[in-house]
Amino acid sequence: QQQVKQSPQSLIVQKGGISIINCAYENTAFDYFPWYQQFPGKGPALLIAIRPDVSEKKEGRFTISFNKSAKQFSLHIMDSQPGDSATYFCAANPGNTGKLIFGQGTTLQVKP
Amino acid sequence: DGGITQSPKYLFRKEGQNVTLSCEQNLNHDAMYWYRQDPGQGLRLIYYSQIVNDFQKGDIAEGYSVSREKKESFPLTVTSAQKNPTAFYLCASRSKGNTGELFFGEGSRLTVL
């Protein structure tokens, strides 16, 4: 199954709080799991990515947690800031074609 | 600066007209992609090309056409056969290798009047 399911669709968090976005997949051949951040009217930009041989990756306030057995991965944004307000997409890569399969997106609003 | 340039940023079209969206990259990337973005549906792949003079259909290719005559350029034509063309179109490119990282342009918003 070539799908990535993302939740929630929208999220409101207070400044300083933790934002958590979840994704689930079914195809065990996926070998690369990036998260993209998109601001209104702009193209998505790579935020952070993980491979399935690692359970967690942290870059600054952003952390990916990966559960291979459950086929789930999540993005955690610590100390969320109003500047983090954007749409976030998870994705999965089925091999070396770069044909990323994207989740439906989560619109995050961080309130001051 | 290296990057991906999409034009036009906004485009209006009457029903029955074909339109072509431009995508140019100076990143020396081999692979290029076109995605369509609709609210609540994520990004869906229209066409992709891994080398010059070769391209493959993505998940929603019907009503679209592409060409890849130069490494730097991957234009997308939205034909009159596309029943619901109003959307945000994103072009992306990727270098060789297995990172899967895509670099995106800033998009073209097409509105059919």
Q: Per the structure block, which two tokens stand in for B44?
A: 């869906």
Is a pLDDT exceeding 70 seen at residue B98? no
pLDDT at A1: 52
Contacts of A99 in chain B (CB under 8 A): 33, 45, 48, 58
- Encode pLDDT of B44-83 as tens digits: 999 999 999 999 999 999 999 999 999 999 999 999 888 8
Predicted pLDDT of residue A98: 67
Q: From the centroid of its chain, how far is CA A56? A: 13
Mark yes or no for CB contact B99/A32 under 8 Å.
yes
Which residue in B58, B54, B53, B62 sits closest to B91, CA to CA?
Answer: B58
Mean pLDDT, chain A, integer: 93
Write the pLDDT tens digit of every residue in A31-80: 889 999 999 989 999 999 998 899 999 999 999 999 999 999 999 999 99
Q: Count interface pairs A-B at CB distance under 8 A.
A: 66
Q: Is the dihedral of CA A44, A48, A54, A57 positive or negative?
A: negative
Residue A30 at interface with chain B, using a CB cutoff of 8 Å: no
Position A61: which residue type?
R
Q: Print burial letters for A19-28: b (CB count within 10 Å at least 16), e (below 16).
A: bbbbbbbeee
Residues of B in contact with A31 (CB under 8 A): 98, 100
Radius of gyration of chain A (CA): 13
Contact B50 A97 (CB under 8 A): yes
What does the block give as tokens for A75? 């993005």
Using CA atoms, how far residue A54 sits from A31, A58, A71, B61, B79, in Å, is 11, 11, 13, 35, 44
Q: Tell me, yes or no, if A107 comes closer than 8 A to chain B by beta carbon.
A: no
Give the pLDDT mean for A14-41. 93
Q: d(Cα A82, Cα A45) in Å, to the nearest integer?
A: 18
Instruction: Answer whether A45 touches B (CB < 8 Å).
Output: yes
Nearest chain A residue to B88 by CA: give it. A41
For the record, the structure tokens of B57 come out as 């259909």
Length of chain B: 113
HEC sequence for A52-109 = CCCCEEEECCEEEEEECCCCEEEEEECCCCHHHCEEEEEEECCCCCCCCEECCCEEEE
Longest dimension (CA), chain A: 41
Its sign, for the CA torsion A40, A44, A47, A53, is positive
Give the tens place of pLDDT for each residue, B11-22. Answer: 999 988 999 999
